[in-house]
Chains A and B, each alone.
Chain A
Amino acid sequence: MRTAPIIGIEVAAFALILVESYAFFTYIVPVGPLPHDPLRYTADAALKVVLTFGLGLLWLVVILALTRVYVRSRLRSQTPSVSS
């Protein structure tokens, strides 16, 4: 079934959303006010935004990497080798 590898990428995208939402609630949401923050609640809010952005970026990088691996393997199987 030729759609199986793409369904695999879909499942990876789905699993990453679940894992990242767990990471968001467990590690990012509880981040409290940072010690010695002169602006009170600003530095930790900025840190939360950066960490959440990082999770989004991680999702993109993983999905792009999986897709690149799939495209390369398919193109390699289509290109006739020099010896053939």
Chain B
Amino acid sequence: MKFLYIGIVVVVVVTLRLWMFRARRKRRATEDQVPGATHDRMVKSPLLGSARARIGRAVGEPLGTVGIIAMREITERVRGRILRVGTLLILVVVAAAIVIPTLDSSSGGLTAQTVGIVGPLSPQIEQVVNSAAKQDQDSVRFVREPSITAAKAALRSGRLDFTIADADLVLLNQPATSSSSPADPTLVQDVAEYLGVVRAYEAAGLTRAQAAQVDQAKAVPVHTLQPGTKTKSKAVSIIGLVLLFFMLTQYCTWILIGVMQEKSSRVVEVLLATVRPIQLLGGKVLGIGMVALGQATLVLGFALVLGEAVGSNLLHGAEPVALLAELLWLVLGYAFYCWVYAAAGSTAERQDQVQTLVLPLSIPVLVGYVFSITVASSGKPDLLFKILAYVPLTAPFCMSVLVSLSQVTWWEFVLSVLVSLAATVGMAIFAARIYRRAVLRTGGRVKVRELLAGSAH
């Protein structure tokens, strides 16, 4: 069944790409015939126009000027190749992380097991082996071997997957857990355990009826006073952190480059003649933020649907609340860092200046990320890590990990969110001040010290 789902996903993606490729080629052909026709159609297309109008009504109008600016950002980003290619790459990586582990045959699926029998095989043991095999999704074929020597030879040649000798020994060529062993390790384990139980019954002198009665015993109910800690999937936490780091860095860099480009193209002077700096900055932050949230939601939804479809156990054990917490911290992290990057972008007007800015800005993000990956792997947060979970610079990573490890109470989580929100407001005010003073200054990178000391241009 899972192969069917994988096939459907692959077909959908390939079809989509082919359709986009053909549409682009057709458009180019038309453009060659009628110069300028492409853009005219793009602008006048009723379908695109109505869709954009709908989005515009939804986003542009209720928020006034900020909404109009945000709408332009959304349109330009969605139209751009970077977003489409980036999203596709993320989806491919996520799909690979979910699907590849399920392709390992040892983790499930119908496996044919050839079992050698040396000595007598009671119907009871045969029945037990068969039922264990059924439970493990294996089919079993029994082959009688005349002696233990013959059985060993058959195991070495690969004719047998494993052998039951005299109902008290399980013999394998290699350990069942070895990747080159043909034996299903779960089945081998189940058979060995059952044979041990049968020997114990015999040693205890139980009759067959008594043994059957013991076999049918049911566990007594277990009640707990409060919910326990579930086993968390480290993999989910780490993949989430990688995506959080990647997305946070990507979106904030968009802000930085977007602000720099508006400054270098001088369009900012035209815009600020009409709108306030905080409106322009707010619209940009909101627009890119909505694109970011859309992309993150798409990736999360895709991961959940695909994981369910292919029966991946990667997402099992990961509570929805942990995933939602990572999404929330992506939003909060973006809300905080976008202002930092915007202010930095307003001091630059060339690509090389942007590159020198990105490195120092990414240091706190990197610190939070590396710390969090380490703790997510070990599962043991120390005091410093817990403190970092309340620092807005590192909280998006550290608090996400604490949630996935269930090492935080609801009020600690809320406290961290509130600290982050308060810091975001402060940063927004500071960034708007820097932005207003720096964005109209041209002719070289502006130093922050000058901006704090002087007035606007």
Same complex: no
